[in-house]
Structure 1
Amino acid sequence: FTQIHDQHWQIEQYHRAIKQVCHIEHFQVRSERPVRNHIFASLLSFVYLQKMQIAQEFTNIYQHQRGLFKETVGKFIESFAKSKDHLLPKLAGAINA
């Protein structure tokens, strides 16, 4: 039972990772060839992530995924927010009549 349960859990982890990290279900195309290309690229990225994890480049693929674009997104928000100060609410103090 333990062996079968462990195998089942590994399959569940595979499905979760390939959906959430490799985005196998998120594609913007409808024709057959681009869909196949997307599925192949997703499977290839999963295999590459597994190789990196085995090589101990990281321990958690979800943590690795979050860290990939953190700096880039931060820089974009910082540069974008500077030019949008006019959108911030300007609150005036309370006036007692």
Structure 2
Amino acid sequence: MGWLWAIIVGFVLGLLAKLILPGKQHSPLWLTTVMGIIGGIVGNAIARGIGIGSTRGIDWGRHFLQLAAAVVLVFFGEMLYMAMRGRRGQRERI
């Protein structure tokens, strides 16, 4: 059940990150979800590192760090995806 929640949270974080980033992103949904999952893991690790990994009530600080990490990862994932896609498109034209 933990993997299912990781996929759901990663999907939501990835979509929110895409909404926050300016412009149109071309990366596929699966890549956005993977970047969201990794962003959630990184955000949790940072939260634990600074001592806000587990608090009473809603962990707004942890959730903010997860979203911030997801935004950064979706941004770099988009850049990498477009670079790979651009190279592949050039090979097909040759």
Q: TM-score, normalised on structure 2?
A: 0.32
Tell which structure's C-alpha radius of gyration is larger: 1
Normalising by structure 1, report the TM-score: 0.31
- Greater fraction of residues in helix: 2
